[in-house]
Amino acid sequence: MASLGVNIDHIANIREARHTVEPDPVPMAMLAELGGADGITVHLREDRRHVQDRDVELLRQTVRSRLNLEMAATEEMMAVALRVQPDMVTLVPENRQEVTTEGGLDVVAQLSTLAAMVEKLHNSNIPVSLFVDPDATELEACRDSGARWVELHTGRYAEAEWKEQPYELARLNESTAIARQFGLRVNAGHGLNYQNVEPVAAIPGMEELNIGHTVVARAVAVGLQQAVREMKALIQNPRPSFLFGQTIG
Ligand code: PXP
């Protein structure tokens, strides 16, 4: 049975929309764990558009499941990973213009660089996963890199028209089998939601699904009524304010 890694980047996105302190992804990770998350995933982007260094440091201290740090394969991010010691590093491609991670890593083209990073992280006892498209040539290069895990990019499956979806699902299924023949362990994620997750979760050998946007969207949907109720109660029945009658200075 596949486990669930909850990606909390979008909680940080809401906070950064106002450059304020709420919602704080650190206590939200605890709530995700209470809800059954088997792991917490954050992507520390080079432009720090959502998750901040402080979040990663605090999550390392508070996450009681497993902390998976998604990051670009750069020297700066390597230094963060070696300092923070997450339970796993998932290397992803990164492009400043993109709204979200658009495709998998080109492991074939970057094999020697990635292999060196994998070795450095392994020497620090940090398991490494490579985020790749479901493609046999890429998976072969993943094996050659020394990584022991891959995360299959499910974006094409998630975005496919219903007619194309069985084909994209078959690619994920076959790629999982190929990766396992190569001795790799398999996670998957990107674009999965409450409508499309079940066939991917049922793929034999699939270990963990990393899911973010749809879970945060659902949290807003199921929590909004309560949040409005609480605000309306304060407005309709305000407590006497300690601020009235006070002088400044
Ligand atoms: N896995 C990876 C490698 C990702 O980059 C992302 C998006 O940050 C996810 C999983 C989660 O994708 P989504 O937010 O669409 O569920």
pLDDT tens per residue, range 47-84 = 999 999 999 999 999 999 999 999 999 999 999 999 99
- CA of 119 relative to ligand 1 center, distance in Å: 24
Report the distance separating Cα 243 and Cα 223, nearest Å.
Answer: 30
What domains appear along the chain, each with residue ranges and CATH number?
Answer: 3-236 (3.20.20.70)
Within the chain, strands assigned E span 3-7, 39-43, 67-71, 88-91, 128-132, 149-153, 185-189, 206-211
Average pLDDT over residues 196-219: 98
User: Measured from the CB, is residue 154 less than 6 Å from ligand 1?
Assistant: no
Residue 13 has pLDDT above 70, yes or no: yes
Quote the CA–CA distance of 216 and 221 in Å, as a whole number: 9
Q: Is the CB of 55 under 6 A from ligand 1?
A: no
206 Cβ closer than 6 Å to some ligand 1 atom:
no
* CA angle (123, 179, 215) in 5-degree steps: 85
pLDDT at 154: 98
Q: Of 70, 72, 15, which Cα lies nearest the Cα of 39?
A: 70
Q: Residue type for 218, please?
A: R
Residue 241 phi/psi, 5° resolution?
-85, 135
For residue 28, is pLDDT > 70? yes
